[in-house]
Amino acid sequence: MKHEIAVIPGDGIGPEVIREGMKVLNAAAEVTSGLKLKFTQFPYGAENYLKTKELVPEEGLKKLSKMDAIYLGALGDPRVPTGVLEQGILLKLRFYFEQYINLRPVKLYPGVPCPLKGKGPEHVNFYVVRENTEDFYVAIGGRAKGKSRAELEVLRSIYTAKFGLDLDVERDEIAYQIGVISRKGAERAIRYAFELARKKGKKRVTSVDKANVLTHVYSLWREVFERVAKDYPEIETEFAFVDAVTMWFVKNPEWYQVIVVPNMFGDIITDLGAMIQGGLGVAPGGNINPEGVSMFEPIHGSAPKHAGKNVANPLATILAGQMMLEHLGEQEAADNVERAVIDVLKEGKVRTYDLGGKSDTSDVGDAVAARVREIN
């Protein structure tokens, strides 16, 4: 089957790691019967923004909507104010294509050192399903300073009634951010987590929140979780507070199988997950719309200080490509890519500096691509 893949190399090390990811995906297509991949590159990122002042134009969104998936390198550049590229490209794509699931496999591969004492691949192997379009990322908020005196007086009265503190409306400033959880948004993310558990043979789904303090939004989350869980009686369920989860990730990661979590807390705990699986260099992620265009990327940033040096670890990007193949229904090719990564890591001859080696970015891509061809 032929798949049209949009490629956004992005910034910093993005073009280098995407190059190796495409190298491995092309190798998989070469040796998998009936699989064809067509890559179309899009220039969105810092260089394009600095030249044109465009992030993702409407015409670009229309072209991307015709693709089967998006393969993203990394975004972020010190020449562009923080948040411009991330919000104007990454978040724009997530929201435009309603990629309401952020899927993060947290898997420690053989040959990758784990910072947790006594833990190996048999202890770190779970999935985090992060709701990807709601919570505190809906961009509802602002600052009160500079508003009309009437507005400031209303805010002052609310603040005083709530906290018993008085504000000087002429001098004090309030910043606020509003988190939003909808029943629909919670249900589709939670149901995705249960379906994933069934597909992967997992027997426990853990719901993470902070309902003991942020009661309004996360009590709804819990209510929906309990209702959806009734449709999956064979799967064990539990609730956990986000602060407790960060502790137990470190102490007993083997307990977790599938975790479902609102947007902001998911953003935080998946970085911790990346570290216990060996670092950002081996951590892939997918922004998924099960009925639409999904986007796959390494979870690391653009690392501008390493750009152009051919030293970055491309394995996270290669594994993001593996996730993309699986999402597109190409399970055989996806399995072969993952098997090739495992073999190269086990052998230990080719690895980048972050894993204790001296190999180049391109060396790793070459080794994994060669192994993909050998498997077949």
Per the document, the length of the chain is: 376
Tell me which of 145, 166, 251, 271 is the catalytic residue: 271
Rounded Cα–Cα distance for residues 252 and 129 (Å): 19
Taking the alpha carbons at both ends of the chain, their separation in whole angstroms is 18
**Cβ atoms of residues 68 and 6 within 8 Å:** no
Give the side-chain half-sphere CA count within 13 A for 345.
Answer: 23
Query: Is 360 among the catalytic positions?
Result: no
Tokens representing residue 35 in the block: 């699989």
Which amino acid makes up residue 112?
V
Tell me which of 68, 210, 335, 354 is the catalytic residue: 210
Query: Is 176 among the catalytic positions?
Result: no
Question: Helices marked H in 209-289 — which ranges?
Answer: 215-229, 242-251, 263-276
3-state SS of 333-344 is: HHHHHHHHHHHH
Tell me which of 127, 137, 192, 256 is the catalytic residue: 137
Query: Is 267 among the catalytic positions?
Result: yes
Q: Are strands 125-131 and 101-107 parallel, antiparallel or unpaired?
A: antiparallel
Tell me which of 68, 267, 343, 354 is the catalytic residue: 267
Name every residue whose Cβ is closer than 8 Å to that of residue 196 and which is 6 or more positions away in sequence. Answer: 103, 127, 129, 202, 258
Query: Is 349 among the catalytic positions?
Result: no
Residue found under tokens 């050192």: 113
Which amino acid makes up residue 225?
F
Rounded Cα–Cα distance for residues 135 and 32 (Å): 41
What H or E segment, with its residue span, contains residue 325? helix 315-327
Tokens representing residue 322 in the block: 């593996």
Tell me which of 2, 184, 203, 243 is the catalytic residue: 243
Query: Is 77 among the catalytic positions?
Result: no
Q: Which residues are catalytic?
A: 137, 210, 243, 267, 271
